[in-house]
């Protein structure tokens, strides 16, 4: 279970990701939740996803670690947020 600080940080990253994803045409009319499968739903393509990740890295000052992703079940908004959080925890520890 996430502690309150980690949970709040995850929410902030999810908010930033959502705002960045909403800038792309594929996101129009698609409800975005942490479970939204970004590529499969056509919300973003791989190039747009890279733009989103870079935008959020610049906005929050955290690094994104793609090695923390498990792509077997599809890439969700929550998985992207967690790759920021897990990387931040590794840097802090």
Q: Are residues 31 and 41 in contact, defined by beta-carbon separation less than 8 angstroms?
A: no
- At 27 the three-state DSSP class reads helix
pLDDT band at residue 19 under the 50/70/90 scheme: very high
**Tens of pLDDT, residues 40-68:** 999 999 999 999 999 999 998 889 998 88
CATH for the 4-92 domain, from 2.60.120.10, 3.40.1440.60, 1.10.1200.10, 3.30.470.20: 1.10.1200.10
Number of neighbouring beta carbons within 10 Å of residue 80 = 23
Distance between CA 54 and CA 52 in Å, rounded? 6
Question: Which segment of 14-18, 37-41, 70-74, 89-93 scores lowest on mean pLDDT?
Answer: 89-93
Compute and round to an integer the Cα radius of gyration of the chain. 13
The residues spanned by each domain of the chain are 4-92
Percent of the chain with pLDDT over 70: 87
For the entire predicted model, the pTM comes to 0.83
pLDDT at 2: 47
């Amino acid at each position: 279970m996430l502690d309150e600080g980690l949970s709040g940080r995850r929410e902030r990253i999810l908010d930033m990701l959502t705002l960045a994803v909403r800038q792309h045409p594929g996101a129009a009319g698609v409800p975005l939740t942490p479970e939204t499968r970004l590529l499969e739903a056509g919300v973003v393509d791989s190039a747009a996803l890279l733009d989103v990740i870079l935008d959020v890295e610049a906005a929050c000052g955290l690094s994104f670690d793609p090695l923390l992703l498990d792509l077997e079940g599809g890439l969700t908004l929550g998985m992207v947020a967690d790759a920021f959080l897990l990387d931040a925890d590794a840097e802090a520890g």
